[in-house]
Amino acid sequence: MIKKRFNPIKDKSSEIIEFLMSSPDIPEDDVLRFKLRLSIEEAVDNVVRYAYDGGIGWLEVGTKIEGDSPVLVIELRDAGVPFNPLERADPDVSLGAEEREIGGLGIFLCKQMMDSICYRYEDGNNVLTMTKKIV
């Protein structure tokens, strides 16, 4: 896995996103890159904004290719406040923006763009894993 730890993460969203998007594991396909970037931006931004008080903490990110299919795996690991974003109900996108509850749209978009998203709390760390089949 190609990975890097950022510490502290305050004001480093762009740097973290660019690190992931520059991985040789990320395919050159423009449509796929758009979906990956959107998902990465949402996931990274959530950690930077909410995992630690004041953004003082670390985030380890990485990518790898698995299997014969192949599948791109993107992993984010932090030691911030335990939080499973997948437990939140999906927003009702049939409602107008002013009628919907605030929050939850980013992870909803990630679920739409990626093939799978998994969360686990392991050894005092939040671990978010997103996968996408690449052809």
Q: What pLDDT digit, counting tens, does each position of 64-117 carry?
A: 999 888 999 999 999 999 999 888 765 555 556 566 465 556 788 889 899 999
pLDDT, residue 90, reads 57
CB-based contact 75:131 (threshold 8 Å): no
The total number of structural domains in the chain stands at 1
Q: Residue 41 belongs to what domain range?
A: 2-133
Of 20, 66, 10, 23, nearest to 43 (Cα)? 20
C-alpha dist (Å) from residue 128 to 26, 37, 104: 18, 15, 16
C-alpha dist (Å) from residue 122 to 2, 14, 52, 128: 20, 26, 17, 11
The pTM (predicted TM-score) of the whole model is 0.88
For residue 114, give the CATH number of its domain.
3.30.565.10
pLDDT, residue 94, reads 59
Give the span between the Cα atoms of 17 and 113, in whole angstroms. 16
Count Cα atoms within 13 angstroms, Cβ side, for 107: 19
pLDDT, residue 12, reads 95
